[in-house]
């Protein structure tokens, strides 16, 4: 292949790092420096085009690792190694124009209550001074595992529909009014899903329902026999015995910024649709801002507020079947569905991530206690639910430590977790005390 373009214009940033006592130099190119003929990658080094190979896995993701992050992340998109110089290209979320077009097309274009909300989010993302990569460039928020999970059958929406028939799986959420609707039964939910895809004029009485926390059943996702590799094979990891839990959302669904649990990883398999995940690390500034909104019903566009107020935003754009990623226990997140979407997840406790888990369990305990004393508007019942979540994480850590009693950190983790459980028990007792009725004088 012979290339001799005349319109190459790019800005570069020169950087250097040390690895195994050897100095490496690399350039970050912002535009115009990469071409491909489908087989090879061609890079323009400022004076000439050079050829390099590109190795990818079965999903088309580069196999090579970046030396700066070592095994923490794959090479992003079209990146390559040439002798002792690494040349990388910062990629903007190239799909932004496509996402704008998707959001402005049916059926989302007719869903008036969420249409403008989504456009405001996209405008804010496009206005950011630092371009966003479609996959995070480090593992501060999520981890991309080296291997796919193992299963007998690939998970599909068909499996999720079978799970929905189970009487306990009626966790329906209204994405127009941003609240759960426990009275919606299976037939009504399915009918709403079908109607949400029609192109008729939106009425004020319409709702946009999604189903959250759909527990697996033997007839549904349980028949896939999913194995959360590599954690399910590791002694240092514990996979939730409660099984997989799925989410099914319609096109146009926007979740507010939230955290699901406190002290566990979440292993996700995205298997249907196009969904944009917005991810923020749990820095002190972020947690300070978020604490006022944790477990609070979202009003207006909280996700947009978080884009404007939280730091360290990254995105993950899931668009292929069977995309796998692990959400860290310290990650705040929100989701935007550009089509009907489905994913399933399971919790994992892993010794390597105990420090993050401990920090978030402590934060959860302190938030519950502060919410009780400050009369934050959360009911005792709601706060007790959060106590049970933190207790469940802590008890699973004890189970994992019992299995790894000879691990170097076992004694310290056991002591820390038992102390937390004692404080949680005291807090639970405090919340269980019913306040006396006011007396009439």
19 burial via Cβ count (<10 Å: 0-12, 13-18, 19+): exposed
pLDDT at residue 138, rounded to an integer: 83
Q: Which DSSP letter does residue 411 get?
A: H
pLDDT at residue 56, rounded to an integer: 57
Angle subtended by helix axes 354-373 and 380-403, to nearest 10: 160
| Dist. CA 279–CA 406, nearest whole Å | 36
DSSP reduced 3-state for 214: strand
DSSP reduced 3-state for 292: coil
DSSP reduced 3-state for 315: strand
Spell out the residues 6+ positions from residue 439 whose beta carbon is closer than 8 angstroms to its own.
none
Q: pTM to 2 decimals?
A: 0.77
First to last CA, the chain: 94
Measured CA to CA in angstroms, residue 68 lies from 17, 25, 137 at distances of: 7, 11, 11
| Dist. CA 229–CA 348, nearest whole Å | 11
| Dist. CA 280–CA 283, nearest whole Å | 8
| Dist. CA 23–CA 84, nearest whole Å | 9
Q: What is the pLDDT along the chain (441 residues), one digit of tens a residue?
A: 333 333 333 445 555 555 556 665 544 443 344 444 445 555 544 455 555 555 555 555 445 443 333 333 333 333 333 322 333 333 344 445 678 888 999 999 999 989 999 999 998 988 887 777 788 878 889 998 877 788 888 999 999 999 988 766 668 999 988 888 878 888 888 888 888 888 778 888 888 999 999 999 999 999 999 999 999 999 999 999 999 999 999 999 999 999 999 999 999 999 999 999 999 999 999 999 999 889 887 777 889 999 999 999 999 999 988 899 999 987 999 999 999 999 999 999 999 999 999 999 999 999 999 998 876 677 888 999 999 999 999 999 999 999 999 999 999 999 999 999 999 999 999 998 766 665 655
Contacts of residues 124-129 at CB distance under 8 Å and 24 or more positions apart, as own/partner, are 124/304, 124/307, 124/308, 125/93, 125/96, 125/307, 125/315, 126/96, 128/313
Q: What is the pLDDT of residues 91-124, one digit of tens each?
A: 344 445 678 888 999 999 999 989 999 999 998 9
Q: Contact at 8 Å (CB) between 269 and 245? A: no
| Dist. CA 86–CA 75, nearest whole Å | 11
Kindly report the average pLDDT of the chain as a whole number.
80
Q: Contact at 8 Å (CB) between 127 and 313? A: no
Residue 27: closest CA among 90, 74, 77: 90
């Amino acid at each position: 292949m012979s290339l001799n373009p005349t319109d190459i214009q790019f800005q570069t940033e020169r950087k250097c790092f040390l690895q195994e006592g050897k100095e490496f130099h690399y350039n970050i190119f912002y535009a115009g420096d990469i071409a491909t003929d489908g087989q090879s990658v061609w890079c323009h080094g400022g004076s000439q085009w050079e050829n390099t190979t590109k190795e990818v896995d079965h999903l088309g993701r580069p196999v090579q690792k970046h030396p700066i992050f070592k095994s923490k992340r794959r090479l992003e998109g079209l990146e390559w190694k040439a002798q002792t110089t690494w040349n990388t290209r910062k990629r903007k979320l190239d799909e932004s124009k496509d996402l704008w077009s998707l959001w402005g097309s049916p059926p989302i274009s007719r869903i008036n209550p969420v249409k403008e909300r989504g456009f405001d989010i996209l405008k804010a993302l496009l206005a950011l001074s630092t371009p966003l990569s479609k996959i995070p460039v480090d593992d501060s928020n999520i981890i991309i595992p080296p291997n796919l999970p193992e299963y007998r059958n690939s998970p599909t929406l068909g499996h999720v529909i079978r799970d929905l028939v189970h009487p306990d799986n009626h966790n329906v959420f209204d994405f127009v009014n941003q609240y759960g609707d426990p009275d919606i039964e299976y037939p009504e939910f399915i009918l709403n899903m079908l109607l949400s895809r029609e192109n008729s004029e939106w009425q004020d009485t319409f709702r946009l329902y999604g189903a959250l926390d759909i527990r697996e059943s033997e007839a549904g996702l349980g028949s896939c026999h999913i194995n959360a590799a590599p954690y399910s094979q590791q002694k240092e990891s514990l996979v939730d015995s409660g099984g997989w839990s799925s989410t099914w959302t319609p096109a146009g669904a926007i979740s507010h910024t939230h955290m699901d649990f406190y002290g566990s990883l979440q292993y996700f398999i995205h298997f249907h649709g196009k969904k944009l995940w917005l991810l923020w690390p749990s820095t002190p500034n972020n947690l300070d801002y978020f604490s006022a909104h944790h477990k609070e019903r979202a009003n207006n566009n909280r996700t947009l507020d978080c884009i404007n107020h939280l730091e360290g935003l990254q995105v993950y754009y899931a668009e292929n079947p069977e995309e796998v990623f692990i959400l860290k226990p310290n990650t705040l997140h929100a989701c935007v569905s550009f089509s009907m979407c489905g994913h399933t997840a399971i919790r994992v406790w892993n010794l390597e991530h105990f420090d993050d888990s401990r920090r978030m369990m402590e934060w959860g305990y302190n938030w519950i206690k502060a919410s009780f004393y400050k009369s934050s508007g959360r009911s005792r019942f709601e706060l007790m639910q959060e106590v049970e979540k933190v207790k469940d994480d802590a008890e699973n850590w004890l189970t994992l430590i019992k299995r790894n009693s000879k691990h170097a950190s076992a004694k310290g983790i056991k002591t820390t977790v038992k102390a937390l459980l004692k404080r949680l028990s005291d807090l639970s007792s405090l919340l269980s005390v019913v306040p006396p009725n006011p007396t009439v004088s």
